[in-house]
């Protein structure tokens, strides 16, 4: 079980400490994505070195490969992947349901299940018009993208799988809706998610490990009344923390609204996780509204294509393949203490990306994750000092 | 400049110390391949940690990308790639000349120049029947596989390029022959290589950095008289060490002959490098015949496809994707102290390879290179103790 305490507040922004059986998470915290029990291109040694606090793996992907029994046989996910720190597992709800293309647009509830990392901020590529998923009150039937095998996820099996995986923080099965779903369908999905949450809690009491904690997921799309109703419902039922899931609307403005409708209805003394958000500007907007943790593939995925996170560039991104970096012998960022910036130049990184050397992705990922960890540290300090808004203004004013 | 001293001999096998301006190489030593100024999937930190002593990069590849001037602008190859230890550069002779398909077979002197690592032990894949290379006494004209641009390498330009790169040990341009070339052509190529060697020495005196050492390359294919003649010629001209290049014949037996014809004609007090050899059995056979160092892509390339080096398996190879490893929770090797074996199971590595996670290649490369470094340490100890042949028997008896 985890404990959480708030140690500083600055407006709605708050800094706190989550104590898990596998270590401490200082919040606000970035949760690094390790979908398939590995943070792509890095080792646990690299992650420790750059300051990673907590990793989120994915129940849906790990169920399909290698399967939860193989991981349980290793003594659980921590031992299997060599990560002794705090771990979360996502329920796989997002992987099963489309959020980018709804039935309304005639593309099926889920157009494709794709063999990539989950990306709640991204888009599903449609490979076929035929849905691989059917949803009913009992749960979800779906076909594996790997081998065509048939699977059923129910609120109970998803808890059983996560009990075998053994992460410190686990999530119940939920139904994600698309920003294009109407209020009617979003309500149906929300109410189903609520019933599944209750079944998940019951299954968790039966199957959950003594060191595990179950968070509830708030749904309701971008509809004010539904978000409020969902938050009010979910917070009543003894979850150890809360995740804000599903569609966050069609714009940044919608996302801010969703947070403002949701967070005030969640109990002050429990941690709040925002699923699938992690761009610099979004982190500030979420922290400002009282979010404690978030996960996102953006820093790692961008790194693998040569997009480096920096302060002072448009949208905090430097495209290292740009030819202007061919003879730029400075580090990615002058004041960055990460292994990459301490040892390598922009010119070298550009060369590695141009030559498609695998170490390019590793060094870029080290930098991007270090950047985010350092940013989170600055945010925590600013909250403690009551200067969060100043820090946010400084970062967001740099945007063009 | 380097110094070399032999500290122990056991038959023809010998152990020694090469002192370079960037550190010490204890021989016999494996030279890790970092073709494009990066050992694929690893960082210099990983390499230090696993015991890498020296890296060889490739002049041909680095000339094409990013170009020697960009590397010189960074302060040379050591600084560019963040490796402060000893470095070699290969001249690019092998990349330019085919050794697997000669004119005799109607495929052109070089059937293709391929955008991969050099692999003297492997085979050139033919992409086109049109040669990209023409050789004459002056040098070599070739077309870049990257952009079709035309380039000329001469003995002088290859030294100038390597002076800009700044590796501790550099090599002259040579003409590699195929095992299928006849004695007549092999002699022509050998004599040309000898003339180029003299021009390279002169260019080295003019352009070489004060910390650099130039090795001579012995050619002569698998012909006893040519190898003896080449060794006798090359050893006369003041090179700091010697490399055995070109075709080593059509079988392991031929390779042993080539070494026995060549090595006795090289001076005892200079280091001897065997180009492109690095399988376990070949290492023993070469050390037994007085070779001090070798480079080979095999350990790193095999790692990236999931072939792991182990003692006690057929040909010292374990194919980790084999389904028997799905639930094998032991390390790759019980007594291996490497980072991978200390932290991860065969089951985890199999999962990473099956899921095509990039960290699979990194962890496998760490193990394979650690394995080779540990083997080289055992060989050095055995030579010091006069038990080299026992060690060799032990390893070669395990083969099936």
Question: pLDDT at position B131, please?
Answer: 67
Task: Say yes or no: B321 and B369 in one domain.
Answer: yes
What would the pLDDT profile of B42-66 be if each residue is shown by its tens digit?
A: 999 999 999 999 999 999 999 999 9
Domain count, chain B: 2
DSSP state at residue A272: E
Do the chains contact at A37 and B66, CB–CB below 8 Å? no
Beta-carbon contacts of residue B180 (< 8 Å; ≥ 6 apart):
B101, B102, B104, B105
Do the chains contact at B43 and A80, CB–CB below 8 Å? no
Instruction: For residues A288 and A230, give the distance between their C-alpha atoms in angstroms, rounded to a whole number.
Output: 21
Instruction: For residues A313 and A189, give the distance between their C-alpha atoms in angstroms, rounded to a whole number.
Output: 40
Token digits of residue A127: 């490979």
pTM for this predicted structure: 0.92
Cβ count within 10 A of residue A164: 21
Task: Say yes or no: B90 and B183 in one domain.
Answer: yes
Domain final position from A266, A296, A326: A296
Task: Say yes or no: B150 and B262 in one domain.
Answer: yes
Task: Say yes or no: A342 and A248 in one domain.
Answer: no
Domain final position from A254, A272, A296: A296
The residues of B whose Cβ lies within 8 A of any Cβ of A are 36-45, 65-66, 70, 73-75, 80-82, 326-327, 329, 339, 343-345, 347-348, 350-352, 354-355, 357-363
Instruction: For residues A294 and A298, give the distance between their C-alpha atoms in angstroms, rounded to a whole number.
Output: 12
Beta-carbon contacts of residue B147 (< 8 Å; ≥ 6 apart):
none
Task: Say yes or no: B103 and B176 in one domain.
Answer: yes
What would the pLDDT profile of B245-283 be if each residue is shown by its tens digit?
A: 887 877 888 899 999 999 999 999 999 999 988 889 999
Q: What is the pLDDT along chain A (400 residues), one digit of tens a residue?
A: 899 999 999 999 999 999 999 999 999 999 999 999 999 999 999 999 999 999 999 999 999 999 999 999 999 999 999 999 999 999 887 777 643 333 333 333 222 233 333 344 333 434 445 667 888 899 998 888 888 889 999 999 999 999 999 999 999 999 988 777 889 999 999 999 999 999 999 999 999 999 999 999 999 999 999 999 999 999 999 999 999 988 787 788 889 999 999 999 999 999 999 998 888 999 999 999 999 999 999 999 999 999 999 997 778 999 999 999 999 999 999 999 999 999 999 999 999 999 999 999 999 999 999 999 999 999 999 999 999 999 999 998 754 4
- Write out chain A residues lying below 8 Å of B361, CB-based: 358
Instruction: For residues A310 and B20, give the distance between their C-alpha atoms in angstroms, rounded to a whole number.
Output: 38
State the average pLDDT for chain B.
90
Question: Of A368, A360, A353, A375, whose CA–CA distance to A300 is shortest?
Answer: A368
pLDDT tier for residue B129 given thresholds of 50, 70 and 90? low
B80, closest residue in chain A (CA to CA) = A348
What would the pLDDT profile of B17-50 be if each residue is shown by its tens digit?
A: 999 999 999 999 999 999 999 999 999 999 999 9
Do the chains contact at B38 and A359, CB–CB below 8 Å? yes
**Long-range pairs, A249-258, Cβ under 8 A, ≥24:** A249/A179, A249/A221, A249/A222, A250/A179, A250/A222, A252/A281, A252/A282, A252/A285, A254/A179, A254/A222, A255/A282, A255/A285, A256/A285, A256/A289, A257/A222, A257/A224, A258/A222, A258/A227
Instruction: For residues B42 and A363, give the distance between their C-alpha atoms in angstroms, rounded to a whole number.
Output: 9
pLDDT tier for residue B98 given thresholds of 50, 70 and 90? very low
To test the contact with chain B by mutation, choose from A32, A37, A66 the residue with the greatest count of B C-beta atoms within 10 A, namely A66
The residue with tokens 């291109």 is A41
Do the chains contact at B43 and A362, CB–CB below 8 Å? yes
CB A172 within 8 A of CB A159: yes
- Shortest distance, CA A332 to any CA of chain B (angstroms): 14
DSSP state at residue A400: -
- Write out chain A residues lying below 8 Å of B350, CB-based: 66
Instruction: For residues A375 and A385, give the distance between their C-alpha atoms in angstroms, rounded to a whole number.
Output: 15
User: What sections of B271-387 are H helices per DSSP?
Assistant: 280-288, 298-304, 339-343, 346-354, 358-385
Q: Which of A74, A350, A358 sits opposite B40 (nearest CB)?
A: A358
Pairing of strands A23-27, B169-170: unpaired
Instruction: For residues B292 and B269, give the distance between their C-alpha atoms in angstroms, rounded to a whole number.
Output: 11
Instruction: For residues A204 and A202, give the distance between their C-alpha atoms in angstroms, rounded to a whole number.
Output: 5
Task: Say yes or no: A147 and A82 in one domain.
Answer: yes
- Shortest distance, CA B68 to any CA of chain A (angstroms): 12
What are the φ/ψ torsions at residue B162 (nearest 5 degrees)?
A: -70, -25
Task: Say yes or no: A119 and A211 in one domain.
Answer: yes
Task: Say yes or no: A356 and A238 in one domain.
Answer: no
Cβ count within 10 A of residue B269: 11
Name the CA radius of gyration of chain A, rounded. 20
Token digits of residue B233: 């010629």
Q: Which of A80, A351, A359 sits opposite B348 (nearest CB)?
A: A80
Question: Of B58, B91, B83, B288, whose CA–CA distance to B174 is shortest?
Answer: B91
Beta-carbon contacts of residue B400 (< 8 Å; ≥ 6 apart):
B314, B315
- Write out chain A residues lying below 8 Å of B339, CB-based: 43, 45
- Shortest distance, CA B116 to any CA of chain A (angstroms): 10
- CA dihedral over B327, B332, B335, B336, signed as positive or negative: negative
Question: Of B377, B380, B362, B376, whose CA–CA distance to B47 is shortest?
Answer: B362
What are the φ/ψ torsions at residue B255 (nearest 5 degrees)?
A: -60, -40
Ramachandran assignment for A174, one of left (phi > 0), alpha (psi -120 to 50 degrees), beta (any other): beta
Distance from CA of residue B53 to its chain's centroid? 14
Task: Say yes or no: A257 and A346 in one domain.
Answer: no
CB pairs < 8 Å spanning A and B: 116
**Which residue range is the domain that position B140 belongs to?**
3-296
Do the chains contact at B348 and A36, CB–CB below 8 Å? no
Do the chains contact at A40 and B329, CB–CB below 8 Å? no
Instruction: For residues A369 and B398, give the distance between their C-alpha atoms in angstroms, rounded to a whole number.
Output: 45
CB A102 within 8 A of CB A96: no
Q: What is the CATH number of the domain that holds A189?
A: 3.20.20.105
B69, closest residue in chain A (CA to CA) = A327
Domain final position from A241, A261, A296: A296
- Write out chain A residues lying below 8 Å of B38, CB-based: 352, 355, 357, 359-360
- Write out chain B residues lying below 8 Å of A329, CB-based: 73-75
Question: pLDDT at position A129, please?
Answer: 54
User: Which burial class, exposed, middle or buried, applies to A262 when counting CB atoms under 10 A from its CB (0-12, 13-18, 19+)?
Assistant: buried
Higher pLDDT, B117 or B61: B61
Task: Say yes or no: B208 and B233 in one domain.
Answer: yes
Task: Say yes or no: A212 and A260 in one domain.
Answer: yes
Active site residues of A: 90, 295
Task: Say yes or no: B179 and B289 in one domain.
Answer: yes
Greatest distance between any 2 Cα atoms in chain B: 61
CB B2 within 8 A of CB B241: yes
Question: pLDDT at position A126, please?
Answer: 42
Q: Which of B73, B351, B362 sits opposite A65 (nearest CB)?
A: B351
Active site residues of B: 90, 295
Do the chains contact at A354 and B66, CB–CB below 8 Å? yes
The residue with tokens 């190489």 is B25
């Amino acid at each position: 079980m985890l404990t959480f305490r708030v140690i500083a507040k600055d407006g709605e922004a708050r800094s706190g400490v989550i104590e898990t059986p596998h270590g401490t998470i200082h919040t606000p915290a970035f949760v690094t994505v390790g979908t398939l029990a590995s943070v792509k291109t890095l080792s646990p040694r690299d992650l420790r070195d750059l300051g990673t606090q907590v990793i989120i793996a994915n129940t849906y992907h790990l169920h399909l490969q290698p399967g939860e029994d193989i991981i349980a046989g290793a003594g659980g996910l921590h031992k299997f992947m060599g990560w002794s720190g705090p771990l979360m597992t996502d329920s796989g709800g997002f992987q099963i349901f489309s959020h980018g293309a709804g039935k309304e647009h005639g593309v099926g509830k889920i157009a494709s299940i794709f063999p990539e990392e989950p990306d709640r901020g991204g888009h599903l590529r449609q490979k076929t018009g035929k849905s691989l998923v059917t949803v009913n009150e009992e749960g979800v039937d779906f076909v594996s993208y790997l081998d065509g095998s048939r699977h059923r996820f129910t609120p109970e099996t998803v808890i059983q799988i996560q009990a075998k995986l053994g992460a410190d923080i686990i999530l119940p099965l939920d139904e994600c809706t698309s920003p294009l779903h109407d209020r009617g369908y979003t309500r149906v999905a929300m109410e189903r998610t609520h019933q599944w949450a209750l079944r998940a809690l019951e299954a968790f009491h039966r199957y959950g490990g003594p060191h595990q904690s179950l968070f509830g997921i708030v749904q309701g799309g971008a509809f004010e009344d539904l978000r409020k109703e969902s938050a009010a419902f979910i917070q009543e039922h003894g979850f150890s923390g809360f995740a804000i899931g599903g569609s966050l609307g069609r714009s940044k403005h919608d996302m801010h609204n969703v947070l403002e409708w949701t967070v005030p209805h969640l109990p002050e003394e429990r941690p709040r996780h925002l699923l699938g958000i992690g761009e610099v500007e979004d982190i500030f907007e979420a922290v400002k509204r009282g979010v404690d943790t978030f996960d996102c593939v953006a820093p790692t995925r961008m790194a693998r294509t040569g997009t480096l996170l920096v302060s002072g560039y448009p949208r905090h991104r430097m495209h290292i393949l740009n030819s202007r970096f061919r003879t730029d012998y400075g580090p990615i960022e002058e004041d960055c203490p990460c292994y990459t910036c301490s040892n390598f130049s922009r010119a070298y990184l550009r060369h590695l990306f141009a030559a498609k050397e695998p170490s390019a992705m590793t060094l870029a990922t080290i930098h991007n994750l270090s950047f985010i960890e350092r940013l989170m540290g600055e945010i925590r300090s600013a909250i403690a000092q009551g200067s969060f808004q100043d820090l946010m203004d400084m970062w967001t004013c740099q945007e063009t």
